[in-house]
Amino acid sequence: MEYSEIMKRKDAILERPVRPIPPDKLADEHRRYAERCKRSIEIFEKAKGLIPGGVEHNLSQNKPFPLAMDRAKGCRVWDVDGNEYIDYLMCGAPIMLGHGYEPLDEKIIGIIREKGPATGLTSEYELLAAEEIIRHMPGVEMVRFLQSGTEADMAALRIARAFTGKLKIIKIGGSYHGWSDQVVYSVHIPRTGNFESKGIPPECYAHTVDVAPNDFEALEAAFRDNQDKGGVAGVMVEPIGGESGAHPVHPEWNRTIRTLCDRYEALMIFDEVVTGFRLDMGGAQKLYNITPDLTVLGKIITHGYPSSGAVAGRRDVMKVCAGSMGEKIFVGGTLAANPISMAACFYALKYMEETDAVARATAYANRLTRALNDLYATRPDLGFFVYNFGAILHYMTTAFFSVDLNAPDALTQIFSRKQVADDYQVVTMAHGLCTLAGTRMYTCMQHDDEALKKTLEVWEYLLSLIPRG
């Protein structure tokens, strides 16, 4: 779906009141969900006393309780009560070959048995993994492996400042670049500033310049106005838009950033933690033919095996990680580039290429997008729609991400719209679909006709719960 069409349809959803499930029907769904997930609830009740909030991350649905998973295979996951789900969470994006892909698992099990998990020294797999990434990604000549996307984003900022000698980092509102101090700013929803997290001194944001997505004028002004305030070292970008495309970008957005980075001698940093090896084996940079100076990777590069993160890019830029004492920047980690992660990276990328995993996951995502939009078209009163960037789908039901913060009732709108989206997700979960936060779906090469059929049945049922209006 074209950018202009997505924006038009989002606006149309925002102009309508939300369409909740009637309370009696919703209560039935909650009962059903709780009935079939007794063990998950038990685990959650205990976990709350030991782990703050009872979970470590907010990837899926935590309300009214998070599901505890038992196992995963192909495009399916099973919870601890034995319920089966078609999985569209895919671990939050890393899984392209399908869960438990045996050739990959066999390699890793063999390495653990024969070689042990880690020595703290380098291994041949590190070289193989780096070669594999460099072979695919046009903007990558050197790679530094780290342990998460968050760490790799932090490293990219430091490299950009060290290389350019400049101070400011432009961050696009709504995008997520991990949870480190400088970039937990205007996360999820543009212009929300430091709303997301306490515990960060304002000084940490002092050099983060927040620009709203697709605001071309503000973008240029951010470069211009910061020239005598230390200058712009880099622009950090999710190439398909913030939150993996939940805030899609104008077709000229990335190219304009590239042009301005060149004009003002700043680095363009593509955060390809989700898009790298999911949108294309060469990432968004290859698909859209825009070469960033730095690329941040994570998630898919180890295909679900820990630990997954890398900063990569132009040779001259990356070399600041290896300068002589007093000139180099310090990034690294004890378990970074351990043999298991590196072997997982090498073999995962190799198998993804051999099996044409990206094309297969994309073909399914295209079919699912078409089929869901056909289904939603039977309920024009709702205005729901879905769009996809390859194997990344966004379905829009209440569009809470896109509420305009300038509106006087913005916060009320966001919370009420989010609540209704959460309620819809209780229904999809209770009937066997696992998605990301009720707004996003990732596909893998093993999603099949049966998964598609089941997905449509669940959605048809959900639509039947919402009164026609």
Ligand X SMILES: Cc1ncc(COP(=O)(O)O)c(C=O)c1O
Active site residues: 176, 271, 299
Beta bridge partners of 202: none
What is the contact mask toward ligand X in residues 200 to 239, using x (rule: CB under 6 A)? --------------------------------------x-
Stretch that binds ligand X, among 65-73, 174-182, 356-364, 459-467 (CB under 6 A): 174-182
The residue (of 29 and 153) whose beta carbon lies closer to ligand X is 153
**Residues from 15 through 74 that contact ligand X (CB under 6 A):** none
Report the distance separating Cα 305 and Cα 313, nearest Å: 23
The residue (of 94 and 383) whose beta carbon lies closer to ligand X is 94
The verdict on 178 binding ligand X (CB under 6 A) reads: yes
Instruction: Pick from 210, 271, 280, 423 the residue near ligand X by CB under 6 A.
Output: 271
Strands 294-298 and 267-271: parallel
CA dist 226 → 167, 190, 289, 303, 419 (Å): 9, 20, 28, 39, 39
What is the contact mask toward ligand X in residues 92 to 111, using x (rule: CB under 6 A)? x-------------------
Closest residue to ligand X in the complex (CB): 149
The residue (of 311 and 420) whose beta carbon lies closer to ligand X is 311
**Residues from 114 through 153 that contact ligand X (CB under 6 A):** 148-150, 153
Instruction: Pick from 104, 266, 274, 320 the residue near ligand X by CB under 6 A.
Output: 274
CB of residue 148 vs ligand X: minimum separation in angstroms? 4
Report the distance separating Cα 78 and Cα 338, nearest Å: 30
Cβ distance 278 to 391 under 8 Å?
Answer: yes
Report the distance separating Cα 260 and Cα 268, nearest Å: 9
The residue (of 28 and 181) whose beta carbon lies closer to ligand X is 181
What is the contact mask toward ligand X in residues 335 to 374, using x (rule: CB under 6 A)? ----------------------------------------
CB of residue 304 vs ligand X: minimum separation in angstroms? 12
Instruction: Pick from 65, 101, 176, 389 the residue near ligand X by CB under 6 A.
Output: 176
CB of residue 18 vs ligand X: minimum separation in angstroms? 26
Cβ distance 196 to 176 under 8 Å?
Answer: no
User: Could you count the other beta carbons within 10 Å of the beta carbon of residue 5?
Assistant: 11
Handedness of CA 220, 221, 226, 228 (dihedral sign): positive
What is the contact mask toward ligand X in residues 284 to 303, using x (rule: CB under 6 A)? --------------x-----
| DSSP-based helix, strand, coil % in the chain, nearest 5 | 45, 15, 40
The residue (of 57 and 328) whose beta carbon lies closer to ligand X is 57
The residue (of 93 and 281) whose beta carbon lies closer to ligand X is 93
The residue (of 384 and 442) whose beta carbon lies closer to ligand X is 442
The verdict on 273 binding ligand X (CB under 6 A) reads: yes
Query: How does DSSP assign 260-310, residue by residue?
Result: HHHHHT-EEEEE-TTTBTTTBTTHHHHHTT---SEEEEEGGGGTTSS--EE
Report the distance separating Cα 106 and Cα 112, nearest Å: 10
Structure tokens at 106: 């066999």
Contacts 24+ apart (CB under 8 A), 427-430: 427/21, 427/29, 427/458, 427/461, 427/462, 427/465, 428/458, 428/459, 428/462, 429/33, 429/61, 429/67, 429/85, 430/29, 430/32, 430/33, 430/36
CB of residue 183 vs ligand X: minimum separation in angstroms? 9
**Residues from 398 through 437 that contact ligand X (CB under 6 A):** none
Residues that bind ligand X (CB under 6 A): 92, 148-150, 153, 176-178, 238, 244, 271, 273-274, 298, 309
